[in-house]
Amino acid sequence: MHSVTIYHNPACGTSRNTLELIRNSGIEPTVIHYLETPPSRAELIKLIGDMGITARALLRKNVEPYETLKLDETQWSNDRLIDFMLEYPILINRPIVVTELGTKLCRPSEVVLDILPTTQKGAFTKEDGEQVIDTDGKRIVK
């Protein structure tokens, strides 16, 4: 049995596509609706470390309160940016997927294919109509 966890926002098309790509591989993941159930400080720090990125790289820029808090300014430390993400979970970019093969911010959604422990079971077309998996379960490379 493979363990896969997705930090998911059902209002986000990329997050929905990523979730369906996981399911298309035959895995029903643990789904964490992180806006309702945000990660703890320790969990968020671990996710950032496991992804090998900075807190700033995980920040979602096109939402409030990013601009209001002036988060584009360089004076904010990683710790302070994590504080903001914990206070305002909408600032956490998504979807984040955790598998036995790694942890990734799956933007675009096809990034999840790099860390899924099983292959795709059939064709998959994203919500916008872009086909990413063919009928043989193979990734379509552009």
Q: Residue 88: which domain range?
A: 5-133
pLDDT, the chain, mean: 96
Asked if residue 140 is part of any domain, the answer here is: no
Residues involved in catalysis: 12
pLDDT confidence bin for 142, thresholds 50/70/90? confident
**What are 59-112's pLDDT values in tens digits?**
999 999 999 999 999 999 999 999 999 999 999 999 999 999 999 999 999 999
pLDDT of residue 70: 96
Helices (H), the chain: 13-24, 41-51, 55-58, 78-87
CA gap 23, 81 in Å, rounded? 32
Asked if residue 138 is part of any domain, the answer here is: no
Asked if residue 98 is part of any domain, the answer here is: yes
CATH number of the domain bearing residue 80? 3.40.30.10
In the chain, % of residues over pLDDT 90: 97
- What is the pTM assigned to this prediction? 0.95
Asked if residue 139 is part of any domain, the answer here is: no
Number of compact structural domains in the chain: 1
